[in-house]
Structure 1
Amino acid sequence: MRRKHRISTLLVVVMLVVSGLGLAGCSNGGSGKEIAVMVPSADHGWTGAVLTYAQEKAKQLNEDSKVKEKYNVKVYAAKDVEDQIKQVDDLLTKSDSIGGIVILPYDNGLQSTLEKIAAADIPFVQFDRVIASGIIDEKVVSNVKGDNEGVGYETAKRFIEKGLTKDDYVYEMIGDNSSVPELRSNGFRKYLTEQGWTKEEIDKTVVKSAATGWSRDTGKELFETWFNSSQLDTSKENWIYTHDDEIGVGVLESLNGSALDAGKKEAFLKSLKALSASSGLAEMYAILKDKHQTIQRPSSFDIFSVTYDPAMIQEAMQVLADSLTGNGDIEKDHVIPVKVVDASNVADFKAFGTYDEK
């Protein structure tokens, strides 16, 4: 269990709801067809915030006169892939009473399940993780997502600006095996390609970790394993590209702890040029502000986070509601742009979760 100051109030509330009910969120909307909003449970900070924002938006929509006249919005949280598949299957047994679905697929294992939704002619919106196939692409109302490719693209751009060369080493710490990390990796490589790097040069310089599962603890374990392996070469300049703030904070915790060999760590820190992350976690923003309780903002290497706001789930829900109520034109691919956050501009951005800054 993490120390108390690291646990946001909103996640505590979310976990209590999920563990106590199995269904995150309730409905006090109209008596018409159901709009089901299906997201993972609070397995890490970002998905926990998604769940909270979804519950908040469901309440708003259920009080909206246009929506509550015909629809009743409910939020479902799944503890794993199998649970989410079962939740969808249960909904499909009463498909006549389902007006639409907003779904953040747990991972790519949901493809056949999404194809069932499409085949049932239920209007649906994919959020964040987009799974593609013929019938899904044909029937989906909209794919609402942050610019995952942009996360990687902006990270590579910043690394190049800070001096990344083809003789260096980039350790890329990926989230999972869904479309999200794939796009973030592709965006990183796209920028390097635009700078004249060949595929062979990229593959030599940029090395992926195993999937962290977006977990801080798993990220720390993978980082420490890499640190202690023959892959680490402190004669080269090293760069760490993490796919999420939780992973990035985990790396910083490891570097600020006592588990790593002190001499090797000193040499590594001299070779480390930058650490990147993404999302907008309050604890990461506290580090960027140099107001973290235990981790000082690094001065010997660059540190930044690329935005990927969990509140985007509310936009996905609004897109489906607008589609069902005939309110405006709907974009098939609804991509929300990203921005780089560092010490110079962090005060301009809203974090998710809570953290007691010093």
Structure 2
Amino acid sequence: MIKKTTKDKKGTAKKVKSEIKVGVLGSGSFATAIVKMLVENCEVVNWCVRNEFVKGAIELRGHNPTYLTSVSFNLRSLNITTDINEMVAASDIVVLATPSIYLSDAMDRLTVDYRNKIFVSAIKGIVPKANDVVAHYLRNDFEIGFRNQAVIAGPCHAEEVGMERLSYLTIATVEEDVAKQLDQIFSSSFIKVNPSTDILGNEYSAILKNIYAIGAGIASGLGYGDNFIAVFVSNAIREMETFLEAIYEAPRDVNESAYLGDLLVTAYSLFSRNRNLGNLIGKGYTVKSAIQSMNMVAEGYYAAASVYATAKDKKIKTPIIDTIYNILYEEKSAENQFSKLTAKLN
């Protein structure tokens, strides 16, 4: 997409920022990365953060005090609040980037009119209150239809966005006008946007890859090498395809970056919190102690129980998900479970 430009007094080309009003809910690492993407293209970003401490720290020092602390913001580009209603009222597009376990607490406080807003989910987990994906939660609990929704998928680690390393976003929406607006506000010199219409497929794949990344981490912690993990990941993408086809049939190619690419980076990258959680478990930490040792939410843990139940209900064969569920929730030995899994992979 060609960006509009103007020239300053010296005749130098200068990009004109979008007047689209955008808000972000959340103050974790990915929320902070999203704000960084948006301030490249938007005059002001309405940022709803967790509490007054975070708000005050950003307003005082120009950066998030806890996540991606090296990313500095021009405060003139931010309207920071702790009130979701203030943020939503001031925005035409609302990006949801809080961990899934906290989303319903925030949305339950929503009282302003949101009927004409576009809600973009950057959440890669199951909403516990609904035991469902964000797209269904927004539709069923808030009557926000798919035409007013979009989903952000990777591969796109927040840490690399903070360093302005070239990253790719897949943004899924069924409305062409919405797709154009989102491309306009997210694309930059370090962010490339790929369009998609597979809202549910992108959302489910983002959830599944977190579960598989826990498995890759467990394998690494147990001492399995690169050869096995490569086989594990290749089986995982095939299992993901089987799951997606059973849940929601749509024209899709799981070899595209939103599916396979996101799985690869989450399974292999040292930035991956889900891989790191699995690695601790593989090294002998209990699940509880591994979770407590992390300062960020590993979405794959919370999603594993729901996805496992869905697979059983739909009679989908998911040996990898079954293995990870047994380790996380049935307290079965990681070593024994992976020993059994090796016989099922090819």
- TM-score of the pair, normalised by structure 1: 0.33
- Name whichever structure is richer in strand by fraction: 1
Q: Which has the higher contact order (CA 8 A, sep 6+)?
A: 1
- Larger Rg over CA atoms: 1
- Name whichever structure is richer in helix by fraction: 2
- TM-score of the pair, normalised by structure 2: 0.34
